[in-house]
Amino acid sequence: MNILGIETSCDETAASVVVDGTEVLSSVVSSQIALHHPYGGVVPELASRRHIEAIVPVVQESINTSGINLKELDAVAVTQGPGLIGSLLTGFSFAKAYAMALDIPCIGVSHLEGHINSVFLEPDPPAFPYVALLVSGGHTSIYYVTSHTKNELMGRTRDDAAGEAFDKVAKMLGLGYPGGEIIGKLAEKGDPEKISFPRSFLDKSDFDFSFSGIKTAVNRYISNHREEYKKIIPDIVASFQEAVVDVLSYKIINAAIQKKCKHIAIVGGVAANDRLRNRVKNDSKGKGVLVHIPSYHLCGDNAAMIAAIGYHYLVDGKKSDINADVYSREVI
């Protein structure tokens, strides 16, 4: 089945055509980074307006480059939530109208389940069951995944998401937005052991996270070293990044051990962080688990993962009616 995916949960307008949940025929992403960069973060009203401008050309480009025509589409899958309400409404309203015009099903899907299933767009996906660490600007959670559409939440952040902490630390240091990519590159030049920032493991036997403390610790360090901190910014971000990665790697590997899973997936925007990718792979050696991480272009928000999970929703008989609405918070 050919599924058109549409993603507008935050600041990327994306469309993709995917066959049977695995084969990507096209994937188009229109980024808003330049628009939001001066503000140090996403401005919801600006994001919504840009989605309105971009969605028609993005969807059209995706159809054109897929090599199929509209009559060959079997369904439209679209992010229903969670995300920014204004952004979600743009994509969801468009998708319902588009599907109605083509007389095909519209499938509202979970953005989070899209990320969790992004590893199935790679040639060597995990076997069920597996544990997934979803780590992004808005979410840091661990799931026990038993099928494409069935997940058990094992733990989540109690405050900031890891990606949010990256953005806020980058803003404190005047590095710009988005912080994750900037910190990742700058940390390569720094000493991760230079500064001892706290690791908030909370209860080591459970899988919740907390990143507000590390963010506060960095802010305190900057305040206490106003004269010299600018000279060691690479060391600061490397030490900060190491503290975050320590906790993420420990929790996801121990979740796999507790659930006796042989497969781990790291998904979401922060999964593009090279230190996290390498650390989990190294830490998992000798523990009997295989690590699956999507290609860089599938870590951030994209519509291929939405089309992929939409296929599995459709197989399960899940469709959205014309009165369906978006939601802002996590529901899986």
Phi and psi torsions of 83, nearest 5°: 160, -165
Q: Identify the pLDDT of residue 40.
A: 83
* CB half-sphere exposure, 58, CA atoms < 13 A: 26
Model confidence band, residue 330 (pLDDT cutoffs 50, 70, 90)? confident
The DSSP code sequence of 198-256 is ----SSTTS--B--HHHHHHHHHHHHHTTTTGGGGHHHHHHHHHHHHHHHHHHHHHHHH
For the segment 91-101, the average pLDDT, to the nearest whole number, is 97
Q: Identify the pLDDT of residue 191.
A: 97
For the segment 304-326, the average pLDDT, to the nearest whole number, is 95
Residue ranges of the domains in the chain? 2-116+299-315, 123-293
Cα gap 4→134, rounded to integer Å = 24
Cα gap 244→209, rounded to integer Å = 10
Cα gap 188→181, rounded to integer Å = 11
Predicted confidence (pLDDT) per residue in 12-62, tens digit = 999 999 999 999 999 999 999 999 988 888 999 999 999 999 999 999 999
Nearest CA-CA partner of 130 in 251, 250, 271, 265: 265
- Residue 217: pLDDT above 90? yes
- Residue 332: pLDDT above 60? no
Cα gap 186→196, rounded to integer Å = 18
**2-116+299-315 and 123-293, same CATH topology:** yes
Average pLDDT of every residue of the chain: 95
CATH of 123-293, one of 1.10.1500.10, 3.90.400.10, 3.90.1150.10, 3.30.420.40: 3.30.420.40
The C-alpha torsion from 303 through 308 and 310 to 314, rounded to 10°, is 160
Please check whether residue 319 is in contact with residue 106, taking contact to mean a CB–CB distance below 8 angstroms: yes
Predicted confidence (pLDDT) per residue in 106-127, tens digit = 999 999 999 999 999 999 999 9
CATH of 2-116+299-315, one of 3.40.1030.10, 3.40.630.30, 3.90.1170.50, 3.30.420.40: 3.30.420.40
For the segment 292-318, the average pLDDT, to the nearest whole number, is 97
Model confidence band, residue 331 (pLDDT cutoffs 50, 70, 90)? low
- Residue 4: pLDDT above 80? yes
pTM exceeds 0.85 for this model? yes
Predicted confidence (pLDDT) per residue in 231-260, tens digit = 999 999 999 999 999 999 999 999 999 999
